Amino acid sequence: MNSRWRSGNRVRLLENGEEYFPAVFDAIRAARHEVIVETFILFEDKVGFELQAALIEAARRGAQVDILVDGFGSSDLTPAFRAALAEAGVRLRGFDPAPRILGVRANVLRRMHRKLVVVDRAVAFVGGINYSADHLSDYGPEAKQDYSVELRGPIVEDVHRYVAAAIGPRSAPDVDVPASVSSDAAGTAEAMLVVRDNDRHRDDIERHYRAAIRSARKQVIIANAYFFPGYRLLRQLRRAARRGVDVHLILQGEPDMQIVKTAAELLYDHLQRAGVHVHEYGKRPLHAKVAVVDDDWSTVGSSNLDPLSLALNLEANVILRDRDFARVLRGRLQHLIDHECRPAPVPPPSRWSLWPQLRSAVVFHFLRHFSTWADYLPRHAPKLKVLHPSPAERAEADERAGNEVESMQGARGH
């Protein structure tokens, strides 16, 4: 996929499940032709069942419906849940599923971590929110803080083209939706879909982050749940702060996994000594993957700034150039800083402590080379698997089997 800027788009920021789920479910319920959903996590809770119902309704109305879930993140879907989707005509696929080993999910590396939706080639959703109840505030203290965007305009066609290719061959022909639906200008925002894979786009998302930070003149605000980036990105953050840019990081203060906070804390001293402001979000677990730079550059997506997202997982972000959207996102993030964050502890001025210096040296060399050593981690060609065949897929399989039998009988006859 070749990333390129598309002008004439309308963008709406969606914060948390309270804004995201109604927007997505309403779009699916209004679908006339096609629905494609990609997600890392789909749980069988009130959110998962509402998504299931919306997809089933759309399929029964005659829309072509495809959903791709990750084989690690969504490994617990029951046969009954899968069968209900399939019997309604929904094509359900899993990305690289694998059996558990002694009850443990061992297929942890190189996951499909994207969260993308396209409906009728007219509206797309890109972000970091999974289909699970822990993205709603009534879940309790463990409810996640996260963001997504709703997109309309020419960028939708790029998202559609990408997800349609990612879900693999479909038994039905491509849906005939008028091209003007997504190609017509809908707003003033410029947008670009940027992905990370293990082939030709290994560092695309990180490169765009680095370029934006390098060009920053006034302010950088990054809110990222899992923060342990490569050395080159850290260097750009430090350089920006030293040349007078107001650089702020919003990281987890109440992490869903303690190792996340421990890893990020190893970088505090290195960043704060250069003038970077580090804030720990403490209201609930932070799950955000967003940033805003200066007056008009911003990004929202699925990519964390850690080794898994930057060097292993399949990710998708949308990058935007739009003053109105940047102002809205900056306002939401500034609210977190002002009301729901605490400043990270600032290191003492003395530089003579041996332990911080030793720790910084170890971390420096680890991060400097992690994109290289990541290539040596286990890899294989991932597969898409039909998790439960729909009636159309069963009929197609029967037809193929019949054709093979006829071919074999014809060969014997000769």
Other Cβ atoms less than 10 A from the Cβ of 113: the count is: 28
Known catalytic residue at 270: no
**Candidate list 33, 115, 160, 388, residue with the active-site label:** 115
**Candidate list 289, 306, 322, 388, residue with the active-site label:** 289
Q: Are strands 289-293 and 219-224 parallel, antiparallel or unpaired?
A: antiparallel
293: β partners: 220, 297
Nearest Cα residue to 165 out of 190, 206, 197: 197
Nearest-5° Cα angle at 261, 259 to 262 = 60
Known catalytic residue at 294: yes
Q: Is 122 exposed, middle or buried (0-12, 13-18, 19+ CB in 10 A)?
A: buried
Q: Is 133 helix (H, G, I), strand (E, B) or coil?
A: helix
* Dihedral pair phi/psi, residue 144, rounded to 5°: -90, 150
- Are the CB atoms for 311 and 207 separated by under 8 Å? no
Rounded to whole angstroms, the Cα distance separating 192 from 7 reads 9
Q: Is 64 helix (H, G, I), strand (E, B) or coil?
A: strand
DSSP string spanning 323-348? HHHHHHHHHHHHHHHHHTEEEPPPPP
Nearest Cα residue to 63 out of 81, 41, 36: 36
Nearest Cα residue to 223 out of 149, 174, 277: 277
Nearest Cα residue to 347 out of 275, 243, 402: 275
Nearest Cα residue to 386 out of 83, 177, 6: 83
* Dihedral pair phi/psi, residue 388, rounded to 5°: -160, 115
Known catalytic residue at 33: no
Helix (H) / strand (E) containing 8: strand 6-15
**Candidate list 113, 144, 277, 388, residue with the active-site label:** 113
Known catalytic residue at 134: no
Known catalytic residue at 287: yes
Q: Is 267 helix (H, G, I), strand (E, B) or coil?
A: helix
Known catalytic residue at 385: no
Rounded to whole angstroms, the Cα distance separating 374 from 198 reads 10
**Candidate list 96, 120, 269, 322, residue with the active-site label:** 120
**Candidate list 45, 203, 256, 294, residue with the active-site label:** 294
Token pair of 324, please?
A: 């109105």
Q: Is 409 helix (H, G, I), strand (E, B) or coil?
A: helix
Catalytically annotated residues: 113, 115, 120, 287, 289, 294
